[in-house]
A and B are shown apart, each in its own frame.
Chain A
């Protein structure tokens, strides 16, 4: 059985786990993903690479739900993602069965992170090559939450975060422009962050919005196009205002 094989992830003389760091490289090559937490809305956005003409784009969903009140987006190896998502979905239901309560966002994040860590400390397996953004509402208090996990198995809570390709630029943008938002403002903030690194247009962005009452909703391409147009208009207006300051004494 696998457990009797030699470990692949071993320490280097200067204390690095190179397999984990290489996994992080794989994440950095994956598509950009962003998550923003508002007061009553949480938004996940991912970059959609150009779909080949013959591919049915609906079969490639990058933002998935783990339960009625929890959703996940990831960056990195999509095949690894499928496995993690399946295990997380089973755990969500198993938790409902054993303690008659839905999972909290923190619980399922801890579970996924624990799973990722286990694969860095077992024989014959390699770490998962993906970082996840997990969002959801606490089933009891209704408080929104956004968590991120990475291949090493660490996790932490965020107000807004990005992962995958060019995540540093997106995170910088979010740090500069983050403020407490709600509803449509949260969606706009997430799209603006994504537009920093992604070619403009509804074709290249996938957005999902989660609210306490309605759960997860994937936005249609047309809706995204409309919001992008709004954002472009606002940007143009801001540029114009900068160039021609109002002449007042």
Chain B
């Protein structure tokens, strides 16, 4: 099976294999197809088997002071909570971060690979790569593995010469530039809080609190999300972790237990 391993080699062009000396385009990478009656159905089943649902909640939005990126920290395998303490926001380099949703191994491997490519670009070109460029590199790599069972739903956030930029990239090869995204099984709940409270000219503190609340609400209703609500801020000088709060404590903060006076008090029976 001939996979496109240019992602693992040094900086290479997007279009398949090119014969360096003669500049001809060779055929794009391909692999042997299994002999079966219904290949499409077989492929669909195979992908369904390996592709876990993106059990997570991550969100990111652009505002006046930069970008806020937030995520929770639970990994689940079906109904089993594997960990409450996973890092779902990965640092690509000091001014760009990305979120992890989908297959943890896939995301973390390809983000480290992206970090390597960004660094090589910097060394070759004596300037930082733009967020658009970095997300494009990631998309190109993922597109060449399309249909092979990778599961990645990531957001790349950073500040470059164009200002703060946020891109959503997934393993289908999709890439969207936007100002508000939430990815994962808890995203509907997060969107509800995020869209309701969002203003472009919020101060950083308010923006971080909005992100924290959105993650908390997602963890409250979505079983696959929980653990710690982590919030990062990306500004022109780079990223900075703002907070990491256990969602149970956030629950007590937002909805403190109210002392209900008992209807009937237990009284000591006077000794007879």
Contact = CB atoms under 8 A, between A and B. Distances in A.
Given A87-B23, A98-B13, A140-B161, A104 B137 contact: no
Interface of A: 2-3, 86-87, 90, 94, 97-101, 104, 106-107, 110, 118-119, 122, 125, 140
B133 A140 contact: no
B129 interface: yes
B14 A98 contact: yes
Contact of A140 (B22, B127, B129, B140): B127
Given A2-B21, A101-B130, A122-B21, 7 more contacts: A86-B23, A94-B13, A98-B136, A98-B137, A99-B129, A99-B136, A118-B21
Contacts of A99: 121, 129-130, 132-133, 136-137
B14 A97 contact: yes
A2 B24 CA distance: 13
B145 to A, nearest CB: 16
* Residue of A2, A90, A98, A118 most packed against chain B (CB within 10 A): A98
Q: Is the interface of A mostly helix, strand, loop or mixed?
A: helix
B15 interface: yes
A19 to B, nearest CB: 16
A107 B125 contact: yes
Nearest to A114: B20
A110 B13 CA distance: 15
Q: Is the interface of B mostly helix, strand, loop or mixed?
A: loop
Nearest to A104: B125
A103 to B, nearest CB: 9
Contact of B22 (A2, A100, A101, A110): A2
Nearest to B127: A140
Nearest to B129: A99
Interface in B16-46: 20-23
Contacts of B127: 140
Interface in B127-184: 127, 129-130, 132-133, 136-137, 140, 161
Contact of A98 (B22, B126, B140, B161): B140
B92 to A, nearest CB: 15
Nearest to A3: B21
A95 to B, nearest CB: 8
Nearest to B135: A100
Contacts of B129: 99
Contacts of A140: 127, 161
